[in-house]
A = this chain, B = another copy of it.
């Protein structure tokens, strides 16, 4: 049961959008990547706007699943925060790719209004989950200096996204590590960010 064409198109489009923005890839690119003709793409996604909606829906579901996975495998707030930072660090792909939310935010004017709504829903989902992580870290004492979990979330999501951006600007993942190091160090028992950057 190999991946069907529709899924292959979504995978290819997401990679392209995260590397070059929504305006930065074309049906011709997808066609070459997946191995069909560009006219055939319209059978699966009648317009590029429809493709954008499908991409965002898939991304939302995937991140929601990933966060649920972190909850299932990490007990403390601190461990969950570290896992979140790791998740974004891996999505960075060594500075070649942004997360889809950042990519779509910048090219918002090229997107159908439906995607703008999806973007808002995605952010609210993430903000809620991150606030829960900080609340738990506050209660169990595994994240230092938490006063207001909501405010922490409002700062943390932009920080992670800004760190992606900084790393991508120069295709240098160490800029991501530097940007999030102070946040990572707030996790009690953290060894000082060494595990994230590979430094001794």
- Does B165 lie within 8 Å of A179, measured CB to CB? no
User: Counting CB contacts under 8 A, is A28 at the interface?
Assistant: no
Q: Mask for A155-166, Cβ within 8 A of B = 1, else 0?
A: 101111111011
- The distance in angstroms between the C-alpha atoms of A21 and B109, with both chains bound, is 9
Within 8 A of B (CB), among A133-184: 151-152, 154-155, 157-163, 165-166, 168-170, 175, 178-183
Among the listed B19, B103, B165, B182, which residue makes an inter-chain contact with A162, where contact means beta carbons less than 8 Å apart? B165
Given A154-B178, A158-B162, A182-B152, A168 contacting B24 (CB threshold 8 A): no
- Does B175 lie within 8 Å of A154, measured CB to CB? yes
- Give the residues in chain B near A98, CB-CB below 8 Å: 106
Q: How many copies does the complex hold?
A: 2
Q: How far is the CB of A47 from chain B (nearest CB, A)?
A: 19
Given A21-B21, A21-B106, A151 contacting B168 (CB threshold 8 A): no
Which residue numbers of A lie inside 8 Å of B, CB to CB?
Answer: 19-21, 23-24, 98, 101-110, 116, 119-120, 123, 151-152, 154-155, 157-163, 165-166, 168-170, 175, 178-183
26 A-B pairs with C-beta separation under 8 A: A19-B109, A21-B21, A23-B24, A24-B109, A102-B106, A102-B165, A105-B166, A106-B168, A108-B169, A116-B170, A119-B169, A123-B166, A123-B170, A151-B178, A151-B181, A151-B182, A152-B182, A154-B175, A155-B159, A155-B178, A157-B179, A159-B179, A161-B162, A162-B162, A162-B163, A165-B165
